[in-house]
Structure 1
Amino acid sequence: MRQLVIVERVCLIGHIVSMVFGLVGILLVVPNAEIIMNLTEVGQTAMQWSMAGGGVVYMILGAAAVFLYAYRTLGLGRALAFLLPSVFISLGSELSGTSTGFPFGHYSYLSGLGYKIAGLVPFTIPLSWFYVGCVSYLLARAGLEVDKKPSLLRHIGAIALGALLLTSWDFVLDPAMSQTSLPFWYWQQPGPFFGMPYQNFAGWLGTGSLFMTVAAFLWRNNPIKLERSQLNLPLIVYLGNFTFATVMSLAAGFSIPVLLGLLTGVAPALALWWQGSNGQPVAIEPATQEISVANVKVALK
């Protein structure tokens, strides 16, 4: 278990460092090409690597860190029960969105985020839905004490809040990433919210709510109780990715999306983390893990 924690932390640190490195490249180096010319050969190689695969690396490391965390704290079955629905449902939404415009609006991905599935959606995009969606839902579920005081209303509230935290990240990320000096996607029909159509938010809320609902259903027989200290990684991942999006948006001159994201994302995330679970840590029994895995296998048939 100690080795697993070490690998998890290495992935988390690498995830954060990759985001910082990416910000330096996008905001400082790309707009000022002379900087590259003044770098050493090693520096130029590193910058070329960053531009070619930095976005891919930071999302892969983020997904790895969150999956290892979920495996360690929730068990393999429950980790898979969130990973699989979030990846496949979000991929379906993205493929539909890039093909038909539903549910997000008409947009297309450019290069920089890795191999495109069906030539449309980079394989890293579903991974980002997974890791940001997972930490958002865990914060909401723990903060509303769904597993200490279970009720249908609390379950619905956790899904709604989790989807809101996920969407709030996009409030800040999407305007900048589609209009930076090195854009990663573009809107074929720009909308009124800093280039984004309002339909995009409905698509994010709907997609996030759908895979969180599926995960909640698969977890229904296995309560999850985490200590506040066990919620630190979800909070760090959420705030780290929000900070990345914030720097990008402010650099592009978009302050209103940042303020909106702070109000609907960061503030609730901090409040949910603080509320957290004040109960006792729960040991995941081997039998529980086996039942969870069985549920996932049945669900996939």
Structure 2
Amino acid sequence: MEFFSLLLKTIALRPYVFVFLTAFLFSAARLIGWRRTWYFMGITWLVALLCEFSSTRTGIPFGWYYYTGSTVGQELYIADIPFMDSLSFPFLLYASYCMALAFLLPATRTLSTVSGIGIIRMQFPLATRTGWPVILLTVLFFSFVDMIIDPVALRGEHWFLGQIYYYPDPGTHFGVPVANYIGWAIVGLLSLRAYLPLDRRLLQTCLSPDGSVTGHVLLGCGLYYGVLIFNLTVTFWIGESLLGMTGLLIYLPLTVLLALRLLGHLGSSE
């Protein structure tokens, strides 16, 4: 009973995390099916939890950091790690995966719509979606989004997150050590290297490899930008203008490139 009570308290304390988690389940089930979605979520959550457990004791792979325990009794913990923290990794990695797919999946141009604008039709071949280019680009997007999330989370005492963790030796990127971003890249790489071989062995999704998956991929991209906008909004709200502008400078060029790709002006579109 105590477990379920703490789980309900966690949902009440961190509703935004569970909104993003629900969006992940909704979008992932439509692109890769429920079975793959649960594998993706379970693998990523376990890898993240083990890496956090290791890092708070050995400094590997995120570098040394500690949870304050300030919300013990208010939300669910696994050992010394808040449940909601490790639970965030699956939907962030999936959203990053969709961003990589949006750039790398083979696509054909669509006919112009009534307004004169049409977007590409992406296919979903197994070889492309499980290949190294997608893995590496996903890891890059995954690490990039943490450059927005972690500095504002570190300032949690200024907003409703609360001061839940700290670095004993603050780093150069707005107090966050570079080792933290390397750790995120490691979590992303290990998770994908465990999940994608399963994707290859499981029965193919109900979506035809030759059919368009553009809408399903864009749902995942929307999740990515939803997380990004949420964190940038909080960043400016607490008065961290330099941090917010840095985030905008990172993502404005990427957003322009994504728009060009979707309009068929970037990459191989027929």
Tell me, yes or no, if the aligned pair for 2:143 and 2:185 is still in contact at 8 Å: yes
| Structure ranking higher in helix proportion | 1
Matches within 5 A, 1:267-278: 267-268=253-254, 271-272=257-258, 275=261
Give the Cα separation in 2 of the matches to 1:168 and 1:86. 17
Partner of residue 163, structure 2: 183
- Amino acid in structure 1 at the alignment position of 2:174: F
Partner of residue 114, structure 1: 75
Partner of residue 165, structure 1: 141
Partner of residue 249, structure 1: 235
- 1:116 Cα shift? 1.3
Matched, 1:131 2:91: yes
- Amino acid in structure 2 at the alignment position of 1:115: L
Partner of residue 198, structure 2: 218
- Amino acid in structure 1 at the alignment position of 2:233: V
CA distance 1:263–1:191, shift in 2 (3 Å): same
Q: What's the Cα RMSD here?
A: 3.1
Matched, 1:233 2:210: no
Partner of residue 51, structure 2: 93
Partner of residue 3, structure 2: none
Partner of residue 150, structure 1: 127
- 1:179 Cα shift? 2.1
Give the Cα separation in 1 of the matches to 2:256 and 2:228. 13
Partner of residue 83, structure 1: 41
Structure 1: unaligned runs, 5 residues or longer = 1-50, 279-301
Instruction: Decide which of 145, 160, 172 is 1:192's aligned counterpart.
Output: 172
Partner of residue 288, structure 1: none
Question: SS of 2:200's equivalent?
Answer: coil
Mean alpha-carbon deviation: is it higher for 262-271 or for 80-89? 262-271
Instruction: Decide which of 19, 35, 38 is 1:61's aligned counterpart.
Output: 19
Give the total of aligned pairs: 226
Question: SS of 1:191's equivalent?
Answer: coil
Question: SS of 1:104's equivalent?
Answer: coil
CA distance 1:81–1:229, shift in 2 (3 Å): same
Structure 2: unaligned runs, 5 residues or longer = 1-8, 107-123, 265-270
Give the Cα separation in 2 of the matches to 1:268 and 1:61. 25
Once the two structures are superposed, what CA deviation does each residue of 1:61-111 show, in whole Å capped at 9, x if it has no partner?
321221233223322221122111101001111111122221112212244
Which structure is richer in relative contact order (CA contacts within 8 A, separation 6 or more)? Answer: 2
- 1:132 Cα shift? 1.1
Question: SS of 2:66's equivalent?
Answer: strand
Once the two structures are superposed, what CA deviation does each residue of 1:125-168 show, in whole Å capped at 9, x if it has no partner?
2221001111211221343117448369x821211111121211
Once the two structures are superposed, what CA deviation does each residue of 1:12-70 show, in whole Å capped at 9, x if it has no partner?
xxxxxxxxxxxxxxxxxxxxxxxxxxxxxxxxxxxxxxx98655222123212212332
TM-score, L = length of structure 1: 0.65
Give the Cα separation in 2 of the matches to 1:213 and 1:265. 26
Once the two structures are superposed, what CA deviation does each residue of 1:190-222 show, in whole Å capped at 9, x if it has no partner?
111111111111101111111022222111244
Partner of residue 17, structure 1: none
TM-score, L = length of structure 2: 0.71
